[in-house]
Structures are given as structure tokens and as C-alpha cells.
Amino acid sequence: MVSQTLFLDGEYGKKFKKTGNKGVFMSSMTEIEKRVEKLENLVNNFMKKWGPDIQKKRDERDQIWDEMVRVIRIQDKNKLNKD
């Protein structure tokens, strides 16, 4: 969550102090907090679907699959040589 102190000390704080319009400042802060929360949720969902843990699982699955394909090819090759 974005700190209100950060905005009061920075450029937006200077504007706020000049205008003194607390309602506008607080509503814009609320809007920014909602947007940041949406972005955080988006990133979290993306990481759950495509993050490093998922990539690791896929790599392990692909290694197993590649090994199965190698075994089947060797079996087919040996079967052809016997005939």
C-alpha cells in the first residue's frame, strides 16, 4: 500500500499543501491504492500460472516425456532389427 507520507513529502505533497483540498487528495489516493492492488493481483496471478515453480515442474515433466520417447524409439528400432 502506498504511504500517504510519501506523497505529503514529495511533489504531490507540495501541491496538496498549496490547494489544501484534502477530499480530492484522499480520493485520488484511494484510486491509486485500488489501481496498485489490481496490479499486484495481476502479477500474483501471472506468477501462479507462469512463475519459476511452474517452469521447473514443466521442465521435469518434459524430461520424463523425452526419456519415454527415447525408450520407445529404441524399442521400435530393436523390433525392426529383429524382423
Asked whether residue 41 falls in the same domain as residue 4, the answer is yes
Asked whether residue 59 falls in the same domain as residue 82, the answer is yes
Residue 1: the pLDDT is 44
Asked whether residue 3 falls in the same domain as residue 32, the answer is yes
- The separation between CA 12 and the C-alpha centre of its own chain, rounded to angstroms, equals 29
Mean pLDDT for back-to-back runs of 10 residues, the chain (83 residues) = 50 56 73 93 93 92 97 92 79
Asked whether residue 6 falls in the same domain as residue 42, the answer is yes
Residue range of the domain that includes 56? 52-83
Residue 2: the pLDDT is 47
| Total number of domains in the chain | 2
Asked whether residue 33 falls in the same domain as residue 70, the answer is no
Asked whether residue 46 falls in the same domain as residue 57, the answer is no
C-alpha grid cell, residue 34:
485500488
